[in-house]
Amino acid sequence: MTLIKAYDSVRRDVLYNILIWFGISLTLLKLITVCANETYSKAWIDKHLSDVFPIKNGLKGDSLLLLLLNFALEYVIRKVQTNQEGLK
C-alpha cells in the first residue's frame, strides 16, 4: 500500500477517536474536524469538469495530513505491541 492509499483509507470518525485517546483537547479536535470535513473536489470526466462534491473519506493533502496519519499509525503500532495476537 502506498502512502497515498493510506491517506485515502483513513476513516475520519476513527481518527477523531484516536486523537481523543492521545489526549488531544476538544478545542483542537474541533479545529481539526473543520479542516478535515470541509473538503470538496471536482473531477475531469472525459473533457468535462464535474460539479463540486464533498470528500467524505481520507485526509486533505496538506501538512496537517502527515501529522494526523502519524497519530493513526502510532496508535496501530502501540496496539499491536500490546496485543501479540495482532489486530482483529
**Per-residue pLDDT at 51:** 93
- The three cell numbers of residue 21 are 485517546
pLDDT for 50: 92
DSSP 47: T
Q: In this structure, are strands 53-54 and 40-41 parallel, antiparallel, or unpaired?
A: antiparallel
Cell of 55: 470528500
Instruction: Please state, in angstroms and rounded to a whole number, the distance separating the CA atoms of residues 69 and 4.
Output: 11
Please name the residue that has the C-alpha cell 503500532.
Answer: 77
- Tens place of pLDDT per residue across the chain (88 aa): 445 566 667 788 888 999 999 999 999 998 888 777 777 888 999 999 999 988 776 665 566 777 888 888 899 888 887 776 655 5
Q: What is the pLDDT of residue 1?
A: 46
pLDDT computed for residue 49 by the predictor: 93
Q: How many angstroms separate the CA atoms of 31 and 9, rounded?
A: 21
